[in-house]
């Protein structure tokens, strides 16, 4: 079943009344709306006021010929897209070339056949409608993209404000907490010093030290995470000795490991150049946080083994301990902030340590992963880029 040809608003421009009558009747029979003009200037004025879907134009006319009329038509924004078909008794190649140079879409020589005119009219009406639909689609798409871009710009502005507010808030909290906290801790230490040097007094002193360390660590870690999230560009990256960072991290966690009765051992593969991209202080902090995490999972009397492995483009640090395993549902969110609220380890909850390490390493385009060992315990793997 063939679809009915689309009707259009067609303008005919010809100084011959017989041609106007013949073409007008033929097009009206096909269902088109027809406007006929004997002079080009009249057609131009009408096409600007009410643009037609198609113009059939003679070439040789008084006052202004078809070529001149077509050029003027194409120079006006409101009528430039109207397709023009020339009908002319001129059949030289140069005449046709000039017509197309003026902006015409087709050229029919006289005397013309009604079927040919009808076929070409239908073809160019369909093309014009498709082009018009495509322009509308592009305009709608551009408007949608512009609206979405504006939405994203506004959302980004809101996020920037929220990030800045979060940073300012945590900076304020960190500062304001420290002032009264220093007084509170100072008074507590004075009170603890007055306790008798017996077992109960020592237990209270150890409890106080654990709580003091935890509070200060949480404040520092929360502030550091916020700084990394809000303004990572503040932290400069440079070549760092991985061996030194590992040694410093081990020294910093030695007291905690001793309190947990966990031994830290190293098995560092010999590497000619162990420089990696990082920040000396932050890389040590990340490795220290991961080592403390591994120690917390380790059972008393066991060992946490640190290994360093070299590849062509990276250096890897692997920490393995014997002890508790991570439930499968917790592995995917292991490095999320406070995502694991339950105490999974013999050494207490993880706090912000995994999140801090992951945020720091992201500054260096480094990767950290966690998995359960084949036996008991966990494996933490850090992959760092070599410094060129």
Res 85: pLDDT: 94
Q: Between 342 and 249, whose confidence is greater?
A: 249
Using DSSP, state whether 84 is helix, strand or coil: strand
CATH architecture of 235-385: 2-Layer Sandwich (3.30)
- Of 42, 40, 43, 36, nearest in space to 17 by CA: 36
Lowest model confidence (mean pLDDT) among 100-114, 186-200, 327-341: 327-341
For tokens 């023009």, name the residue: 84
Per the DSSP assignment, residues forming a β-bridge with 306 are 266, 319
Domain boundaries, the chain: 9-112, 157-230, 235-385
Indicate if the pLDDT at residue 3 is higher than 60. no
Class at the top of the CATH hierarchy for domain 9-112: alpha beta
Indicate if the pLDDT at residue 284 is higher than 60. yes
- Of 293, 169, 181, 176, nearest in space to 223 by CA: 169
Query: What distance in Å separates the CA atoms of residue 349 and residue 71, rounded to the nearest whole number?
Result: 81
Query: What distance in Å separates the CA atoms of residue 26 and residue 117, rounded to the nearest whole number?
Result: 9
Res 176: pLDDT: 63
For tokens 């009406």, name the residue: 125
Show the tokens assigned to 80: 């430039």
Indicate if the pLDDT at residue 177 is higher than 50. yes
Q: Between 188 and 138, whose confidence is greater?
A: 138
Query: What distance in Å separates the CA atoms of residue 388 and residue 385, rounded to the nearest whole number?
Result: 9
Res 347: pLDDT: 60
């Amino acid at each position: 079943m063939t679809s009915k040809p689309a009707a259009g608003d067609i303008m005919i421009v010809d100084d011959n009344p017989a041609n106007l009558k013949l073409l007008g009747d033929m097009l009206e029979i096909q269902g088109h709306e027809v406007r006929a003009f004997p002079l080009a200037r009249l057609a131009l004025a009408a096409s600007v006021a009410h643009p037609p879907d198609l113009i059939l134009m003679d070439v040789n006319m008084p006052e202004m010929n078809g070529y001149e009329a077509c050029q003027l038509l194409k120079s006006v924004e409101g009528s430039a897209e109207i397709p023009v078909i020339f009908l002319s008794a001129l059949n030289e190649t140069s005449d046709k070339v000039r017509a197309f140079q003026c902006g015409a879409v087709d050229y029919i020589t006289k005397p013309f056949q009604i079927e040919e005119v009808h076929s070409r009219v239908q073809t160019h009406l369909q093309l014009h409608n498709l082009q018009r639909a495509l322009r509308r689609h592009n305009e709608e798409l551009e408007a949608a993209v512009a609206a979405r871009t504006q939405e994203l710009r506004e959302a980004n502005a809101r996020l920037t404000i929220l990030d800045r507010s979060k940073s300012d808030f945590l900076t304020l909290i960190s500062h304001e907490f420290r002032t009264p906290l220093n007084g509170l801790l100072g008074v507590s230490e004075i009170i603890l010093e007055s306790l008798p040097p017996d077992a109960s007094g020592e237990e209270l002193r150890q409890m106080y030290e654990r709580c003091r360390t935890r509070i200060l660590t949480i404040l520092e870690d929360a502030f550091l995470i916020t700084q990394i999230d809000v303004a990572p560009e503040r932290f400069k990256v440079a070549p760092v000795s991985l061996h030194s960072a590992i040694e410093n991290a081990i020294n910093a966690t030695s007291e905690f490991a001793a309190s947990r009765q966990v031994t830290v051992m190293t098995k560092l593969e010999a590497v000619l150049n162990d420089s990696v991209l990082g920040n000396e202080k932050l890389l040590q902090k990340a490795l220290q946080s991961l080592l403390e995490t591994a120690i917390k999972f380790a059972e008393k009397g066991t060992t946490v083994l640190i290994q360093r492995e070299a590849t062509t483009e990276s250096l890897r640090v692997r920490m393995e301990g014997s002890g508790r395993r991570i439930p499968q549902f917790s592995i995917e969110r292991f490095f999320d902030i406070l995502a694991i609220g339950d105490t999974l380890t013999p050494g207490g909850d993880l706090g912000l340590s995994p999140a801090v390490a992951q945020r720091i390493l992201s500054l260096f385009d480094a990767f950290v992963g966690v998995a359960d060992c084949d036996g008991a315990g966990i494996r933490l793997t850090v992959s760092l880029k070599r410094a060129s």
